[in-house]
Structure 1
Amino acid sequence: MVPGPRGLPLLGSLPDFGKDPLGFLTRLRDHGSLVTWRFGGKLCVFLSEPDCVGELLIGAEEHFDRAELGVAFRTLLGNGVVVAEGADWRRKRSLVQPSVRPKQVKAYASTMVAEAVRAADGWADGRSIELRREMSALTQRVAVRTIFGTGKDADVDAIGRAMSVAQQEIGAEMSGLGALLPSWMPTPGRARVRKAVAVIDREVARVVAEHRNEGSGRPDLLSRLLVAQDETGARLTDEEIRDETVTLYIGGHETTASALVWAWTLLSANPDVHASLTRELDRVLGDREPGFEDYEKLTYTQAVVKETLRLYPTIWVISGVAREGATVGGRRLPAGTRVWSSPWATHRDPRWFRDPEEFRPERWAPPEGTEAEEIPEYAWFPFGGGPRVCLGARFAMVEAVLVLAVLARRFRVDVHPSQLRPAPKLTLQPDREVWATVRGRKG
């Protein structure tokens, strides 16, 4: 292994990581494939080679424990499928997975398109919009309708505001001194998270009670979770229902909203890519709105989303804790070593991607007659991988592609020039408001 930065006594490299997490992880990558460093007093190893990343992801259940991501993170997600381990994780995954299988995602596609059309109907040629607000509102409505089966704006607003507060505090704790504080120590940030989560819990409990009173048969995710049974016939408890709905909400809203904002920003800066996108939309859709059956046909639109997630992966860091006997790259890791990988750093590595800083969807959808770029497995992992791959990956991809298709078929979005920087919070977001002018393509 290659020794990385020495850091400071007690703190290790935490100050450098906290100041610029993405830059710090990129510098670690440039040290070598397996780099040692210290997060506070904890020994860490950073992985950047796809083969090593694959070992971490594939061995997630057998050789690595879940890393503790802070009190704020645990307060929001509880012990949902993202956090659970061992037999508890396997049980919860078996209960949640049927709700996001392709057949179910197909059923949700009409809601995705309907909400995108609703957003498009509110746009007009020459109108100035704030993209983060627009995309967040759109994906919030999709998440609330598909998960909770309600479209009330009050529900969307209450949950959305609370989620924004929680996400802000999770990002601050993950990369700051809060990561080293004991879980019992009160801080203002942890107090804000608890207050926000209380709002979320109250809303979820109210909707769960409504579903129980109305009985089964509704087409939303929550209704499916309420009747799901494990191999013993047991169902999820109310607390487990709460944890899984919050987890699904984050996966179906936060990640997709961020990806769409970055997609519009990249398309605005790359007019040739935008032209290729609209040519495909005109050819496949003509003057109609997309449906689920169009998803597989929109190969270039998919490529735009995949390339956006390469440059701006919403999940920017993945980590685990080595168990006794764990190895990576043929090297044994001391038990308790925290192992890190970063989609941000690996996705932008010139060893795996030609011209890695360029926005080139053709990597994923090469023009006819041209050779495809060879991309190693686990060089691209915005949804993780292995047994703990994100359950909502297909939901997120279908939503991003269909929403982009609805809006880009009607409008060009010109993002106003600004020095946007990615802010690594719970998900990777722009560090400021993103203003744009929409231009109508068709009457």
Structure 2
Amino acid sequence: MATTSAINSPFRQVRDLPCPKGLPLLGNLHQLPPTRFHLVLEGWAAKLGSPYRFQICKTPVTVWTDAELCQSIMRERPHRYRRYASLESVLEEIGCNGLFSAEGAAWEPQRKLVMQALSIPHVKAFFPTLKAITERLHTRWQSAASQGRDIEMTEELKRYTVDVTSALAFGEDPRTLERDRGVIQEHLALIFPMLMSRVNAPFPYWRYLRLPRDRRVDRALVEVHRYVRDMMQRARERMQADPADSPRHLLEAMLTMRDAPDSTITDDQIAANVLTLLLAGEDTTANSIAWTLMYLASDQRLQQRLAATARTAFGEAPVCPDYSLLKDLDLFEAVCTETGRFRPVAVINSFEPLQDVCVADVALPAGTKMFFLNRPAMLDARHFSHPWRFDPDRWLHGKTREEETHDPRAYLQFGAGPRVCPGRHLASVEMRLVLSMLMNRFSIQIVGDPSDIKEVSAFTMVPSTMPVRLSIRA
């Protein structure tokens, strides 16, 4: 399972790996619809085992399902492995090559700033604002429940996470929860599907021909970058007006670094990180909570248990009133975590080695494309007992029985190693706050047939829809 730095003849070559049957020239490209990309790869893994390869024209892509191996490779970033190189080039083109995709020397200073901004002490100090934004969400949902109005939850939750991320990291609350149209989230929503398409494209057609969907994304990016640059300008004006009190948040900290003597940070890099945080904060947490609602809606007993837990923790208050009480809401995060085993938002991790390596028993030349599928390991009885049973209690400390298997290392939704997700604590707080408010005050049901909710590859794995109806809890 270990990796080495040289290729030796006893090892299998990439061409020796099993491969689904394809077509001349195209390879398997015609079998990979963008919206079902992860499902096709998982299906091939079930038939061919791991590792296997598929072909995008002449380019082989290796596919793996070993979580321990994925952990090992994550720990060897950034000196031996990097993210998919095409991801960095596509993000560079749209002005979004920030912390998520930056490699080499550009990564470390950005990482330090973002880790400080999203640290536990900063999130704790930010809690009053976070509580206020959650109260706005409660007011919005209470109105919908009173009117018997159905809610598209993916959109609602993205509004919430955009407001939270903007207020915490940039010192501005866009208050998208109080508006129906003309919000930044409408433009952000077009970016991830475009990334999914371009990163896996065999040829960068958009550099020569702009299709209607590319022109829609172009218009969205103009609005997003205008939004980001205006926010940067307002931050500079606040810093000039009150320099003694700066920096107060991540954006001001980045601008301070930009203006330091001998700084190599540019305004473009700051804008890229602002956009990266907006996208990451808006999409991943929102969709994780949205998938959770599907499981809650089908389990009235779990809803009642969660409601009782919330009521015990913070009584009649609509929203958890104090940061210190979040520790009493472990069950809510456990429900989200268990949902992530079945519906992982981060369904694929992509890497490529920076040098010739041997991974397991396969020789990989530098630059070989590697996809790691996260879900197979999480649904494997070798890692989790009764893997097809939805059981949030498996994640609660001390709840797993000794005879049961529980290997949290197989759960890679936040990554691992030096580049583990810096926003994981903020995501935990958002999950606890939103779900405890929801279960404390409402019961929930899916509108229509739950089987109509499909998994969609849109860079992350998102629900095609999540229409719900809320009822005010007695």
Tell me the TM-score normalised to structure 2 length: 0.84
Identify the match of residue 203 of structure 2 among 166, 171, 180: 180
Contact 2:161/2:282 (CA < 8 Å) preserved in 1?
A: yes
Identify the match of residue 250 of structure 1 among 269, 279, 283: 279
Contact 2:394/2:400 (CA < 8 Å) preserved in 1?
A: no
Report the residue type matching 1:54 in the other structure.
Q
Contact 1:99/1:225 (CA < 8 Å) preserved in 2?
A: no
Identify the match of residue 424 of structure 1 among 457, 460, 471: 457
Deviations, residues 101-150 of structure 1 (Å, cap 9, x unaligned): 11112123332222121111223345332212222222222222223322
Structure 1 residue 403: Cα displacement: 1.5
Identify the match of residue 234 of structure 1 among 258, 263, 266: 263
Change (3 A) 1:389 1:11: farther
List alignment gaps of at least 5 residues for structure 1: none
Structure 1 partner of 2:158: 136
Structure 1 partner of 2:407: 376
Deviations, residues 209-231 of structure 1 (Å, cap 9, x unaligned): 11111115364432233224799
The answer to whether residue 23 in structure 2 is matched with residue 8 in structure 1 is yes
Q: Whole-Å Cα distance in 1 between the matches of residues 324 and 361 of structure 2?
A: 44
Contact 2:38/2:348 (CA < 8 Å) preserved in 1?
A: no
Report the residue type matching 1:4 in the other structure.
C
- Superposed, 1:201-240 pairs within 5 Å as 201-215=225-239, 216=243, 217=245, 219-228=248-257, 234=263, 236-240=265-269
Structure 1 residue 319: Cα displacement: 0.7
Contact 2:56/2:202 (CA < 8 Å) preserved in 1?
A: no
For the residue of structure 2 that corresponds to 1:320, the secondary structure is: strand
Identify the match of residue 76 of structure 2 among 27, 52, 59: 59
For the residue of structure 1 that corresponds to 2:87, the secondary structure is: coil
Change (3 A) 1:254 1:79: same
**Structure 1 stretch displaced more, 305-314 or 65-74:** 65-74
Structure 1 residue 373: Cα displacement: 4.3
The answer to whether residue 297 in structure 2 is matched with residue 268 in structure 1 is yes
Q: Whole-Å Cα distance in 1 between the matches of residues 49 and 314 of structure 2?
A: 47
Q: Whole-Å Cα distance in 2 between the matches of residues 95 and 233 of structure 1?
A: 18
Q: Whole-Å Cα distance in 1 between the matches of residues 45 and 62 of structure 2?
A: 11
Q: Whole-Å Cα distance in 2 between the matches of residues 336 and 368 of structure 1?
A: 43
Deviations, residues 274-302 of structure 1 (Å, cap 9, x unaligned): 23322321222222332322223322111
The answer to whether residue 194 in structure 2 is matched with residue 169 in structure 1 is yes
Q: Whole-Å Cα distance in 2 between the matches of residues 308 and 219 of structure 1?
A: 35
Report the residue type matching 1:305 in the other structure.
C
Deviations, residues 381-404 of structure 1 (Å, cap 9, x unaligned): 112221222221221122122121
For the residue of structure 1 that corresponds to 2:78, the secondary structure is: coil
Change (3 A) 1:179 1:97: farther
**Structure 1 stretch displaced more, 68-77 or 26-35:** 68-77
Query: RMSD over aligned Cα, in angstroms?
Result: 2.7
Report the residue type matching 2:431 in the other structure.
A
Change (3 A) 1:113 1:374: farther
Structure 1 partner of 2:50: 33
Structure 1 residue 163: Cα displacement: 0.5
Change (3 A) 1:186 1:52: same
List alignment gaps of at least 5 residues for structure 2: 1-11
Structure 2 partner of 1:321: 352
The answer to whether residue 141 in structure 2 is matched with residue 109 in structure 1 is no
Change (3 A) 1:61 1:275: same
- Superposed, 1:371-410 pairs within 5 Å as 371=402, 373-410=404-441
Q: Whole-Å Cα distance in 1 between the matches of residues 112 and 459 of structure 2?
A: 25
Q: How many residues align?
A: 439
Q: Whole-Å Cα distance in 1 between the matches of residues 262 and 327 of structure 2?
A: 37
Contact 1:12/1:38 (CA < 8 Å) preserved in 2?
A: yes
Change (3 A) 1:300 1:430: same
Q: Whole-Å Cα distance in 2 between the matches of residues 354 and 397 of structure 1?
A: 24
Contact 1:310/1:348 (CA < 8 Å) preserved in 2?
A: yes
Structure 1 residue 376: Cα displacement: 3.1
**Structure 1 stretch displaced more, 241-250 or 13-22:** 13-22
Contact 1:54/1:386 (CA < 8 Å) preserved in 2?
A: yes
Deviations, residues 131-180 of structure 1 (Å, cap 9, x unaligned): 122222222222222233223447984421110122232233345xx443
Contact 1:363/1:372 (CA < 8 Å) preserved in 2?
A: no
Q: Whole-Å Cα distance in 1 between the matches of residues 27 and 388 of structure 2?
A: 30
Deviations, residues 9-66 of structure 1 (Å, cap 9, x unaligned): 2222222222631222212332223222223321221111112111221223122232
Identify the match of residue 312 of structure 2 among 260, 264, 283: 283
Report the residue type matching 1:166 in the other structure.
I
The answer to whether residue 209 in structure 2 is matched with residue 194 in structure 1 is no
Q: Whole-Å Cα distance in 2 between the matches of residues 329 and 431 of structure 1?
A: 36
Report the residue type matching 1:64 in the other structure.
Y
Q: Whole-Å Cα distance in 2 between the matches of residues 87 and 388 of structure 1?
A: 14
Structure 1 residue 73: Cα displacement: 4.2
**Structure 1 stretch displaced more, 378-387 or 181-190:** 181-190
For the residue of structure 1 that corresponds to 2:470, the secondary structure is: strand
Contact 2:88/2:102 (CA < 8 Å) preserved in 1?
A: no
Q: Whole-Å Cα distance in 2 between the matches of residues 230 and 299 of structure 1?
A: 42
For the residue of structure 1 that corresponds to 2:62, the secondary structure is: strand
Structure 1 residue 72: Cα displacement: 5.2
Change (3 A) 1:283 1:194: same
Report the residue type matching 2:157 in the other structure.
M
- Indicate the percent of aligned positions where both proteins have the same amino acid: 24
Structure 1 residue 416: Cα displacement: 1.7
**Structure 1 stretch displaced more, 284-293 or 111-120:** 284-293
Contact 2:308/2:440 (CA < 8 Å) preserved in 1?
A: no
Deviations, residues 183-218 of structure 1 (Å, cap 9, x unaligned): 633332333323211111111111111111111536
Structure 2 partner of 1:99: 117
Tell me the TM-score normalised to structure 1 length: 0.90
Identify the match of residue 470 of structure 2 among 399, 416, 438: 438
- Superposed, 1:322-341 pairs within 5 Å as 322-341=353-372
Change (3 A) 1:5 1:254: same
Change (3 A) 1:405 1:26: same
For the residue of structure 2 that corresponds to 1:407, the secondary structure is: helix
Q: Whole-Å Cα distance in 1 between the matches of residues 68 and 262 of structure 2?
A: 40
Structure 2 partner of 1:45: 62
